[in-house]
């Protein structure tokens, strides 16, 4: 009965489910089997079938009806470990929405016998990181009817290639991504605008941006356009061609007093306050990070929520931020909040002239970030250096922050410690109750 309990495991305990199952069989005088009894218990909890709009719920499995809008026939692929597999996709719809149903391996063969317009009864589960996808565990054709449109929603449409002209607004430093098979690749992400909206741009070919600087316009032939939860994403791959362009494409940040309706916005402002980074576990067990901040443009304030890598950015009060492609929606209190996740970008404006710096000091980790303190000055640094340890860093200083290019841990100077002790402790003074604490106790 584990299969049926998974449909309601967020509502009742397994023990309660088994108790209800036994009671249902006794109530029916043993005229039904345990499978039928389990289905009746699930139905009484209003989970026998959900609408497609309800597939965002927290139960492990879902049962629903969906009308077939499109069918992608089985395709063979090579697994990362080297074996072969098959996959097929269905776009299913009802009057509340659409979902992509994924059939793997032996189940993929069923797609050959499925036609557009048919209605299927499906049991499935969330497909990992792909929030819009459901992995099919079981399905069968159903005689019921569903009245809905037959056009595939744009966010579920397959990727397509386009020619675009775009003004590059921001380019992140390359990230080294380790794949499941142990290999690594460099990813560059940034954002740009065609004059009407800001869109995320990514590529696994870092050399593409060797000669492209922010605030320049390029023409990209054959860019791959993918629909994501946050909107479209532009992917530059080996089939794309990028060339400089002289076209002037306008862009300006929105002022806080105009950021009122739900949607995507780009703004600039200073950090008025910020809370510590919080760690949470997502529905599929992955660890995530979130941070709440308040931005000010001098006349008004705006709440913002940073997610994922954006939440881990070192920030302090007074930092001036450029925020691109943030999603405005109501917060828990009902006030509007800007949410900046994978589709958005946060850029800290430089403070003063940049200069190379080499510095030794003690790492101090606080709620507001990681600092390096040499006893005279303190700088905010990027990275996750261990609290209380001594480090020598090299990097670029801009105002009160250092972007580290290299770092090494150094041992404590015993002579310096003895010298400090001689100044702080008066020998033979029984009234001196000072107790020295090491850096680890800071």
166 DSSP assignment: E
* pLDDT number for residue 80: 63
Q: Pick the more confident residue, 11 or 58.
A: 11
Q: Supply the pLDDT for residue 417.
A: 46
420 pLDDT band (50/70/90 cuts)?
A: very low
Question: CATH: 2.60.40.10, 3.40.50.20, 3.40.50.2300, 2.40.50.140. Which one for 160-245?
Answer: 2.40.50.140
Model confidence at 287: pLDDT above 80: yes
| Percent above pLDDT 90 for the chain | 36
Query: What pLDDT was estimated at residue 415?
Result: 57
Q: Which region among 42-51, 335-344, 424-433 has the lowest average model confidence (pLDDT)?
A: 424-433
Burial group, residue 280, by CB count within 10 angstroms (0-12, 13-18, 19+): exposed
Angle (CA) 332 336 339, round 5° = 85
Least reliable range by pLDDT among 259-268, 310-319, 415-424: 415-424
What is the band of 284 on the pLDDT scale with cuts at 50, 70, 90?
A: low
What phi and psi values does residue 2 have, to the nearest 5 degrees?
A: -60, -35
Mean pLDDT computed over 82-108: 90
The model's confidence at residue 69, banded by pLDDT at 50, 70 and 90, is very high
As given in the structure block, the two tokens for residue 365 are 């980790």
Most confident segment among 1-15, 125-139, 304-318, 408-422? 304-318
What's the CA gap between 173 and 355, in Å, rounded? 18
> Residue 28 pLDDT > 70, yes or no?
yes
- For residue 195, give the 3-state DSSP assignment: coil
> Mean pLDDT, the chain, as a whole number?
84
Confidence of residue 175 (pLDDT cuts 50, 70, 90): confident
Question: By mean pLDDT, which of 40-49, 122-131, 156-165, 349-358 is the weakest?
Answer: 122-131
Residue 131: what pLDDT?
Answer: 59
- Would you place residue 383 in the very low, low, confident or very high pLDDT band (cuts 50, 70, 90)? confident
What is the residue whose two structure tokens read 């510095």? 359
pLDDT for residue 68 is more than 50: yes
Please give the pLDDT value at position 440. 32
- Quick one: pLDDT band at residue 130, thresholds 50, 70, 90? low
CATH architecture, domain defined by 352-442: Beta Barrel (2.40)
State yes or no: pLDDT of 59 exceeds 60. Answer: yes
Fold category of 2-155 in CATH: OB fold (Dihydrolipoamide Acetyltransferase, E2P) (2.40.50)
Mean pLDDT on 263-285:
86
Confidence of residue 227 (pLDDT cuts 50, 70, 90): confident
Cα distances from 390 to residues 313, 374, 387, 408, 420, in angstroms, run: 22, 9, 9, 9, 16
Query: What is the fold of 256-348?
Result: OB fold (Dihydrolipoamide Acetyltransferase, E2P) (2.40.50)
Q: Tell me: pLDDT of 412 over 80.
A: no
**pLDDT value of residue 179:** 63
Question: Is the Cβ–Cβ distance between 411 and 390 less than 8 Å?
Answer: yes
- Predicted confidence at residue 234, as pLDDT, reads 93
How far is residue 155 from each of residues 51, 227, 232, 309, 379, measured CA to CA in Å?
19, 5, 8, 24, 44
CATH 2.40.50.140: which residues of the chain?
2-155, 160-245, 256-348
Q: Tokens for 285?
A: 């067990």
């Amino acid at each position: 009965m584990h299969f049926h309990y998974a449909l309601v495991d967020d509502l009742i305990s397994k023990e309660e489910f088994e108790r209800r199952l036994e009671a249902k069989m006794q109530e029916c005088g043993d005229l039904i089997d345990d499978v039928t009894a389990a289905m009746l218990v699930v139905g009484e909890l209003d989970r026998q079938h959900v609408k497609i709009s309800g597939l965002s719920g927290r139960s492990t499995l879902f049962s629903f009806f969906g009308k077939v809008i499109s069918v992608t026939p089985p395709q063979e692929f090579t697994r990362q470990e080297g074996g072969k597999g098959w996959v097929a996709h269905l776009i299913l719809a009802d009057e509340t929405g659409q979902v992509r149903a994924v059939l793997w391996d032996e189940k993929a063969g069923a797609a050959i016998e499925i036609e557009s317009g048919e209605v299927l009864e499906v049991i499935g589960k969330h497909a990992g990181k792909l929030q819009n996808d459901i992995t099919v565990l079981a399905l069968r054709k159903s005689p019921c009817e569903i009245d809905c449109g037959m056009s595939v929603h744009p966010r579920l449409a397959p990727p397509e290639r386009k020619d675009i002209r775009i003004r590059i607004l921001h380019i992140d430093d390359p990230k080294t991504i380790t794949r499941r098979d142990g290999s690594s690749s460099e990813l560059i992400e940034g954002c740009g605008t065609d004059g009407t909206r800001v869109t995320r741009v990514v590529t696994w070919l870092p050399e593409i941006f060797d000669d492209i600087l922010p605030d320049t316009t390029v023409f990209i032939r054959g860019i791959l356009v993918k629909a994501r939860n946050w909107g479209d994403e532009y992917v530059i791959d080996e089939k794309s061609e990028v060339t400089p362009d002289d076209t002037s494409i306008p862009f300006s940040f929105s002022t806080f007093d105009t950021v009122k309706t739900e949607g995507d916005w780009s703004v600039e402002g200073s950090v008025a306050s910020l809370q510590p980074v919080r760690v949470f576990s997502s529905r599929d067990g992955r660890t995530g990070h979130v941070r709440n901040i308040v931005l000010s443009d001098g006349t008004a304030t705006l709440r913002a929520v940073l997610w994922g890598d954006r939440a881990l950015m070192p920030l302090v009060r007074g930092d001036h931020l450029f925020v691109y492609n943030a999603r405005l929606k109501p917060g828990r209190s009902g006030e509007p909040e800007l949410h900046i996740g994978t589709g958005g970008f946060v850029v800290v404006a430089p403070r003063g002239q940049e200069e190379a710096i080499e510095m030794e000091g003690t790492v101090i980790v606080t709620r507001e970030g990681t600092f390096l303190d040499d006893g005279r000055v303190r700088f905010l640094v990027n990275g996750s250096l261990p609290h209380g340890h001594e480090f020598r860093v090299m990097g670029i200083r801009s105002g009160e922050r250092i972007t580290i290019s290299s770092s090494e841990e150094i041992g404590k100077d015993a002579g310096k410690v003895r010298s400090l002790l001689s100044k702080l402790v008066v020998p033979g003074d029984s009234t001196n109750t000072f107790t020295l604490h090491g850096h680890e106790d800071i």
